[in-house]
Amino acid sequence: MKKLSTILSLLLICIAGTSCGQSTGGGFSSPQGYDLNHPVKYDMPVELLEISGIAFVNGDASTIYAEQDEDGKLFYFKLGDKQINSTRFGKHGDYEDVAILNNYAILMRSDASFYTFPLSGIKNKEVAGVQDFKKILPTGEYEGMHADGGKLYVICKIGQGVDHNKECRGYILNLAANGALNQTGTFTIDVKKIAGMVGKKKLKFHPSALAKNPLTKQWFILSSVNKMVVVTDGNWNVQQVYPIDPKIFLQPEGMAFDRQGNLYISNEGSTTQPGNVLLFKYKR
């Protein structure tokens, strides 16, 4: 009887709107074209135990850029290489994501402080020309950032005065030619719809990363806390919700696509596991 109840509950979730998607045999459904149950795993060296954000330059997967939570360094390397490179851009801090836009590297701290510098300077031990921008977004905790179409998109994990049972807020920033940042727009995501799609009356949604699929133009939004990937259309309307396996995704904090549509998700490590980057190859 208990087994029958479980099956009925899963069916109700599908009917409610969750994309039960393609079955990949791992117990968790995946977005069309991907298998989130069987990644190619790249373990990170000890310097990136707490890897958080990841990014590419215009989807070029030959070099991945990454940062980690505590050290003010930008790392860059080819996945699979044993040796990685880095440059220092700031002091120790709670850094959460990285983006590359118009030949500038942009690093974001959890309090929405931003650091920009020309990407051409990363071969130096310490990069020059770093600019920092504080208090250009509302007070809150921020972990997700993505560059697309000449703009920077930032999603709020925990916002002051925001009911996270109802909505998730995001902000659009412009990067000037001299590396300066300023806010130019906003967007919202309907959390009540996400909750309904996973069969819950209430759900506090706390996203940790976002990236735009270059093939479908959909937004993929990752939540480490909620252990799910939310897919929206280009206007942030929720289309599908995919719970993810906590055994595979220990602490997923970063997300990026390459130009072929392959999906990459980075996970912080633990005392027993290294940090990693998981590759999910796109299959038509």
Mean pLDDT of the region 110-127: 96
pLDDT tens sequence across 210-249: 999 999 999 999 999 999 999 999 999 999 999 999 999 9
Mean pLDDT of the region 249-278: 97
pLDDT tens sequence across 60-90: 999 999 999 888 999 999 999 989 999 999 9
* pLDDT at residue 120 tops 60: yes
CATH number assigned to the domain comprising residue 24:
2.120.10.30
pLDDT tens sequence across 196-205: 999 999 999 9
pLDDT of residue 27: 79
Q: State the residue range of the domain holding 137.
A: 2-280
Are 207 and 219 a contacting pair, CB within 8 Å?
Answer: no
Is residue 17 helix, strand or coil? coil
CA dihedral (155, 161, 164, 166) positive or negative? negative
Helix ranges (DSSP H) in the chain: 2-16, 191-197
* pLDDT at residue 14 tops 50: no
Mean pLDDT of the region 149-162: 95
Distances (CA, A) of 217 to 29, 196, 259: 20, 24, 12
Half-sphere exposure of 261 (CA within 13 A, CB side): 13
pLDDT top residue among 161 and 22: 161
pLDDT tens sequence across 21-47: 454 555 799 999 999 999 999 999 999
Are 202 and 191 a contacting pair, CB within 8 Å?
Answer: no
Is residue 197 helix, strand or coil? helix
Average pLDDT of the residues of the chain: 92
pLDDT of residue 70: 86
Beta bridge partners of 142: 156
pLDDT of residue 2: 39
pLDDT of residue 174: 97
Mean pLDDT of the region 169-192: 97
pLDDT band, very low/low/confident/very high, at 124 (cuts 50, 70, 90): very high
Name the domain count of the chain: 1
pLDDT of residue 26: 59
CA-derived radius of gyration, the chain: 18
pLDDT of residue 169: 97
- Residues of the chain above pLDDT 70, percent: 91
Is residue 16 helix, strand or coil? helix
Rounded distance, CA 14 to CA 123, Å? Answer: 50
